[in-house]
Amino acid sequence: MKFANMSDKDRDFTSHRVPSASLVIEELKELWGMALPITAMNCLVFVRAVVSVLFLGRLGSLELAGGALSIGFTNITGYSVLVGLASGLEPVCSQAYGSKNWDLLSLSLQRMIMILFFASIPISLLWLNLETIMVFIGQDREITSMAATYCIYSLPDLLTNTLLQPLRVFLRSQKVTKPMMYCTLAAVFFHIPLNYVMVMVMGLGVPGVAMASVLTNMNMVVLLVGYVWASGRWEMRWTGGIGGVCGGVGPLLKLAVPSCLGICLEWWWYEIVTVMAGYLPNPNLAVAATGILIQTTSMMYTVPMALAGCVSARVGNELGAGKPYKAKLAAMVALSCAFLIGIINVTWTVILRDRWAVLFTKDDLLKGLVASVLPIVGLCELGNCPQTTGCGILRGTARPAIGAHINLGSFYFVGTPVAVGLAFLLKLGFKGLWFGLLSAQVACALSILYVVLVRTDWEVEALNAMKLTSIEMSGACNEVGDDREYQKNEEMKGLLMMNGNGNVDDVL
């Protein structure tokens, strides 16, 4: 029997078998071995953003306001879109890696780079017209002019992210996370000196802050490309020629666009909360408190975001390898971790609610407002952690459209009406907005958990992964002691197909 000498780590198990404690521990090691470096990387990226804001603040209040406006605009119209589209690469790369389909792994990266390049063209037009757009909607002209300057000097970052975001997904799908952390650490280490030289020494002001951020991202890309090249993880294969690469863009977009919508719909809702806060009786106080709370949620989001990306890779790897119940185990372990993280967030937001705002402001009214709402934000994270992880599981099973529909319904057909009704109609004010977010997170979490826990047939998902990566199994599912193994079909179908000349024609 070929599987006689296989360890539990290398084999799947049947639906009737309860996973052993050793399997659960092994999965925890796999998951957090990937997630901890990604969490550290996300924290470093957060630190880089904070450094940029600090240098903007040193230049003056006008520069800080203009930079903040530009950062918000570029996040909504640019970075969220590129990150969202790149996440569509997760199911293909993770399942291709699990099935050892190296051609598909390489081709998918090339296709996503091309998709992001063309997506950056209309985004760049928006960035170039920031001043016109903001003046049209009634923003202050001086602040808008400063924001436009920052935005124009940030334009090269679109090309940088065209390479950076797909590379991160490509490596994470292969369980390569520590090198990403080290590359990010090296790039962020030089971010402060870059800002100091360009802003303080060269006196470039706001353009200097923007260019320093661009150069830091460029350093990340150079380091990552250098690692990929030196490690031999990606050979430049133009399998089937440029026509083959272009021919598969359409089907890849069917995964990328829903992934993008799922991420952007949630991301954009936080900006809507900021806008609604501006219509409350004391708008300056409400908007300032919203800024502090959004920064707090961004900090708390670093862990579930890393967990979601890594469980997407783990689920995709196992499904691609034809191990549906190992994929299910990965999903269940990740969801359990997500609930634990959510409980930790609720606990510290309740305990530290009176002390947290002191880190951001000395205003007593502002501190009181933040303290009154922080426990609600903690409860939101109790829903957000499993919801974010569940979205990662859905991407790993190549079903991002479900996550997009759930986010649309939860945030815009549940959260928005509740927030408006409580804050403005029932006069709950600032708390009402965050109760709206809480209702959205609860609806989102329950819907996604229902799909993952009740409506997911893991054997069917393994068969779908087989189709996605052009791998056919010689049996339905491999079981303990079963000597049947998965084999590559001689006649490639689906994603990689042979044409009449013996070349590979790609349809994804």
Cα–Cα distance for residue pair 128/142, rounded to 1 Å: 17
- Regarding predicted confidence, which is higher, 263 or 443? 443
Q: How many domains does the chain have?
A: 1
Cα–Cα distance for residue pair 288/274, rounded to 1 Å: 9
Q: What pLDDT, on the 0 to 100 scale, is given for residue 395?
A: 93
Cα–Cα distance for residue pair 404/175, rounded to 1 Å: 26
- Regarding predicted confidence, which is higher, 376 or 136? 376
Cα–Cα distance for residue pair 264/277, rounded to 1 Å: 20
Q: Is the distance from CB of 237 to CB of 106 less than 8 angstroms?
A: yes
The residues, any chain, with a CB within 8 Å of residue 56's CB and separated by 6 or more, are 63, 64, 67, 68, 206, 209
Q: What pLDDT, on the 0 to 100 scale, is given for residue 404?
A: 92
- DSSP code, position 3: G
Tell me, yes or no, whether 4 lies in a domain.
Answer: no
- Closest by CA position to 150, among listed 207, 79, 191, 199: 207
Q: What pLDDT, on the 0 to 100 scale, is given for residue 15?
A: 58
Q: How far is CA 81 from CA 261, 262, 385, 503, in A?
A: 8, 10, 21, 34
pLDDT mean over 217-222: 94
pLDDT mean over 160-175: 93
Cα–Cα distance for residue pair 471/490, rounded to 1 Å: 9
Q: Is the distance from CB of 249 to CB of 238 less than 8 angstroms?
A: no
Count of beta carbons in the 10 Å neighbourhood of residue 345: 24
- Closest by CA position to 298, among listed 270, 330, 318: 270
Cα–Cα distance for residue pair 144/131, rounded to 1 Å: 6
Q: What pLDDT, on the 0 to 100 scale, is given for residue 16?
A: 56
Tell me, yes or no, whether 12 lies in a domain.
Answer: no
Tell me, yes or no, whether 229 lies in a domain.
Answer: yes
- The alpha-carbon radius of gyration of the chain (Å, integer) is 24
Element (H, E) at 435: helix 430-453
Cα–Cα distance for residue pair 385/303, rounded to 1 Å: 9
Q: What pLDDT, on the 0 to 100 scale, is given for residue 34?
A: 93
Q: Evaluate if residue 232 carries a pLDDT over 80.
A: no
Tell me, yes or no, whether 127 lies in a domain.
Answer: yes
The residue length of the chain stands at 508
Tell me, yes or no, whether 221 lies in a domain.
Answer: yes
Cα–Cα distance for residue pair 435/423, rounded to 1 Å: 9
pLDDT mean over 389-403: 93
Q: What pLDDT, on the 0 to 100 scale, is given for residue 267?
A: 83
- Closest by CA position to 438, among listed 387, 395, 403: 387
Q: What pLDDT, on the 0 to 100 scale, is given for residue 274?
A: 78
| Average per-residue pLDDT for the chain | 83
Q: Is the distance from CB of 68 to CB of 56 less than 8 angstroms?
A: yes
Q: Model confidence at 491, in pLDDT bands (50, 70, 90)?
A: very low
- State how far Cα 371 lies from the chain centre: 29
**In the structure encoding, which two tokens stand for residue 479, read together?**
């079981």
* The pTM of the whole model exceeds 0.75: yes
- Closest by CA position to 393, among listed 322, 449, 471, 477: 449
pLDDT mean over 384-393: 93
Q: What pLDDT, on the 0 to 100 scale, is given for residue 467?
A: 84
Q: What pLDDT, on the 0 to 100 scale, is given for residue 63?
A: 83
Q: What pLDDT, on the 0 to 100 scale, is given for residue 432?
A: 93
**Backbone φ, ψ for residue 486 (5° rounding):** -75, 140
Tell me, yes or no, whether 35 lies in a domain.
Answer: yes
Q: Is the distance from CB of 145 to CB of 62 less than 8 angstroms?
A: no
Residue identified by tokens 């009740």 is 454
Q: How far is CA 219 from CA 156, 186, 200, 204, 247, in A?
A: 13, 8, 21, 20, 32
Q: Model confidence at 47, in pLDDT bands (50, 70, 90)?
A: confident
**Which domain does 343 fall in, by range?**
21-236+244-472
Cα–Cα distance for residue pair 46/44, rounded to 1 Å: 5
Q: What pLDDT, on the 0 to 100 scale, is given for residue 357?
A: 82
pLDDT one-digit tens code per residue, 331-367 = 999 999 999 999 999 999 999 888 888 877 777 888 8
Tell me, yes or no, whether 16 lies in a domain.
Answer: no
Tell me, yes or no, whether 314 lies in a domain.
Answer: yes
Quick one: what percent of the chain has pLDDT higher than 70?
A: 86
Q: What pLDDT, on the 0 to 100 scale, is given for residue 134?
A: 82
Q: What pLDDT, on the 0 to 100 scale, is given for residue 50?
A: 82
The β-bridge relationship of strands 496-498 and 486-487 is: unpaired
